[in-house]
Structure 1
């Protein structure tokens, strides 16, 4: 009787230990995968970005806007394609700006809304990769 009880307790103890070890291994693997997803370095960002030269265009209400942007893509290949499509990007910028007023472009929210709209429109153009972020490098509204 004592041997059966001792054997039963030993089996339970070994089972609990095995479950603990397996849990630790799984958690270690999951945390290692999370560490692999890292932010790109500044060199990688520059390599996958395209500068759109300054453009000047009329906006609603007899005003004008002068701006230049940098577009960050998810790969150098997408950046190469985007550089070839710079005339289409300029067209998108002019189109979007022509519908906006001076008040639409003022403040953080206005700038962010404009960048988000341009990002969506440019992503529709790209066949290789996608736009990650639009940086407004200069803007003058008068």
Structure 2
């Protein structure tokens, strides 16, 4: 083989090794960032707001007493949610007024999602990451 062919093959092998090494580094760094985005249980507890119990009537005349745990993404968002307590109650009461007893038997995921999206529209800084139903009594 000529000297030129040997040099070209060596250069291609070196470039290939560098490309593979770069790919491995990029994938590992991206994987670490995704792991860091998840909230720890301590963060969830520290940045969550427990709503007051709300008792109201439903569209079919039944009554419900319900309470939520609202998880935020940080301390500033938590403070804002605490200040917007009256708006939270308003959102919940308006949404519950359209529900029936059967809606509560089939699950609360839709209600939690509506509360989450409505609150996210209100907060100016940060976001609501999750809404959990922590107490529900249907009469």
For the criterion TM > 0.5, the same-fold answer is yes
C-alpha separation between the residues in 2 aligned to 1:66 and 1:137? 11
State which of 15, 25, 28 in structure 2 corresponds to 1:31: 28
C-alpha separation between the residues in 1 aligned to 2:13 and 2:103? 63
TM-score normalised to structure 2 length:
0.90
Which structure: larger Rg?
A: 1
The alpha-carbon deviation at position 88 of structure 1 amounts to 0.8
Residue 54 (structure 1) aligned with residue 50 (structure 2): no
- 5+ residue gaps in structure 1? none
Per-residue CA deviations over 1:22-50 (Å, capped at 9, x if unaligned) read 22223312321221222211111112111
Tell me the C-alpha RMSD between the 2 structures.
1.5
C-alpha separation between the residues in 2 aligned to 1:27 and 1:65? 54
State which of 98, 107, 116 in structure 1 corresponds to 2:113: 116
C-alpha separation between the residues in 1 aligned to 2:95 and 2:9? 69
**Which segment drifts farther, 23-32 or 63-72?**
23-32
Q: After superposition, where does 1:64-79 map in structure 2 within 5 Å?
A: 64-79=63-78
- 5+ residue gaps in structure 2? none
